[in-house]
Amino acid sequence: MLEKAAPADDLGRSRRSRRTALWVGGLLVALVASVPVVIGLGPVPIAPSTVAAIVGHHLVGFPTEVTWSASEDSIVRLVRVPRALLGVVVGAALAAAGVVLQTLVRNVLAEPYLLGVTSGASTGAAVVILFGAGAAAGGGALTGSAFLGAVLATGVVFLLAGVRGSVTSVRLLLAGVSVGYVLQAVTSFLIFWSDAPEGARDVLFWLLGSLAQARWSAVAVSAGVAAVSGVVLMAMARRFDAMAIGDETARSLGTDPARLRAWALGVVALLVGAVVAVSGGIGFVGLVVPHVARLCVGGAHRRLLPVAALIGALFLVWADVAARLVFSPRELPLGIVTALVGAPFLILLVRRMRAA
């Protein structure tokens, strides 16, 4: 009787693919449409059509006639475009990293900063901000020091959690949290110790995250790292599906859970380190966006990773607009905006979860 069902029962494959295609397509369109609008918004408003013309002029030389001012040109070319692109990269990277980490430690509260990446980057940044040769150090030293701090902190977390042996989710969580606390203490101590009066404020601003550091060089480096990481993580996607259920299940389906965890954590650490170094500790994106993406397309990582990345990019680009405009001309740290928007979202999700 059961055998009589339609022979071509595809378990809703076509419906699911259609749904994913709709989400990916819709989000892509929204993102591509958002970018010129977002670039136009700011203390000096520029129409999206002008933005498109400036970009087109420089990129493909299409509107040959220059109908905009030189200042508009340089604002768009040197400030706003790299800033918007950095927002896309950082948002996508944090969201994808959040998806992977929640899967690897099988904890819905995991987020990219769990590995001590941000606290390490913060300590590295604080060293340069407080004790660097002032203006001479410049953005390069700050970014480099932050990245170094992120990588070193993650290395320590790895060692503590015993990646070489078998790093379980609990050990990883505990190692990440303890390293995070120690580094926070170090950063606070550095602030306390230094005499620079604005130092504390600058460090705080950096800790809360901002895209103000966006330069073409920063965008290029972080976009490159993000693209490579994205490909590697997508290659691991199906293994993540099995990992999400349990180590034993992963093993019985042909994946060595300890090895996958070690490799994936390495990729995520590089990815998060690369974006945190240029943007500071932007919270909540990596925590909330993965949950939103799961509601959209379910838990299969081949669909989840791209959709989460797109949502993260879209979210961060618009959060940055809010950060720039709400107290214009003063700029709000981005982390404040993402937390204010992200936290209610999380509460909403918790309520939904209970109902389900």
Partner 1 sequence: MITAQDIVAGYAGTPVLAGVGLAAGDGAVVGLIGPNGSGKSTLLRTLYAALAPSGGAVLLDGESVAALPGGELARRVAVVAQEHPPELPITVAEMVLLGRSPHRGTFQAYTAADHRIAATALRRVGMREHAERGFATLSGGEKQRVLIARALAQETGHLLLDEPTNHLDIHYQHEILALVRTLGVTTVVVLHDLNLAARYCDELVLLDAGRVARAGPVADVLRPEVLEPVYRVGVRLVEDEECVQLVFRARQPAAAPVAATSSSPATTPSPRTAPRGGTRG
CB of 312 to partner 1, least distance (A): 18
Q: Min. distance of Cβ 246 from partner 1 in angstroms?
A: 4
Tell the smallest beta-carbon distance from residue 247 to partner 1 (Å): 8
Sequence-separated (6 or more) residues with CB below 8 Å from residue 287: 98, 109, 110, 111, 342, 346
The nearer residue to partner 1, 305 or 317, going by C-beta atoms, is 305
- Shortest Cβ 245–partner 1 spacing (Å): 5
Q: How far is the CB of 296 from partner 1 (least distance, A)?
A: 12
Rounded to whole angstroms, the Cα distance separating 153 from 270 reads 11
Toward partner 1, which CB reaches closer, 260 or 278?
A: 260
C-beta neighbour count of 248 within 10 angstroms: 10
What are 175-183's contacts with CB under 8 Å, separation 24+? 175/116, 176/114, 176/115, 176/116, 177/114, 179/116, 179/119, 179/120, 179/153, 180/113, 180/114, 180/116, 180/118, 180/119, 181/119, 183/116, 183/119, 183/120, 183/122, 183/123, 183/149, 183/153
With tokens 């059509």, the residue in question is 49
- Cβ proximity of 302 and 238 under 8 Å: yes
CB of 91 to partner 1, least distance (A): 21
Query: Measured from the CB atom, is 198 or 248 closer to partner 1?
Result: 248
Task: Give the shortest CB-307-to-partner 1 separation in angstroms.
Answer: 14
Q: Which is nearer to partner 1, 281 or 286 (CB)?
A: 286
**107 φ, ψ to 5°?**
-140, 130
Residue numbers of the site for partner 1 (CB under 8 A)? 2-3, 5, 8-13, 102-103, 106-108, 234-235, 238-239, 241-242, 244-246, 248-249, 251-256, 294, 298-300, 302, 356
Nearer to partner 1, 217 or 252 (CB): 252
Q: For partner 1, which is the closer residue by CB, 12 or 25?
A: 12
How far apart are CB 106 and partner 1 at their closest, in Å?
6
Nearer to partner 1, 58 or 352 (CB): 352
Residues 6+ apart with CB under 8 A from 207: 122, 187, 280, 281, 335
CA distance 326 to 113: 27
Closest approach of partner 1 to the CB of residue 311, in Å? 17
Tokens of 326: 């709400």
The nearer residue to partner 1, 175 or 296, going by C-beta atoms, is 296
DSSP 118-186: HHHHHHHHHHHHHHS-GGGTHHHHHHHHHHHHHHHHHHHHHHHHTSSS---HHHHHHHHHHHHHHHHHH
Give whichever of 128 and 293 is closer to partner 1, judged by the CB atom. Answer: 293
> In angstroms, rounded to a whole number, what is the distance separating the alpha carbons of residues 180 and 203?
16
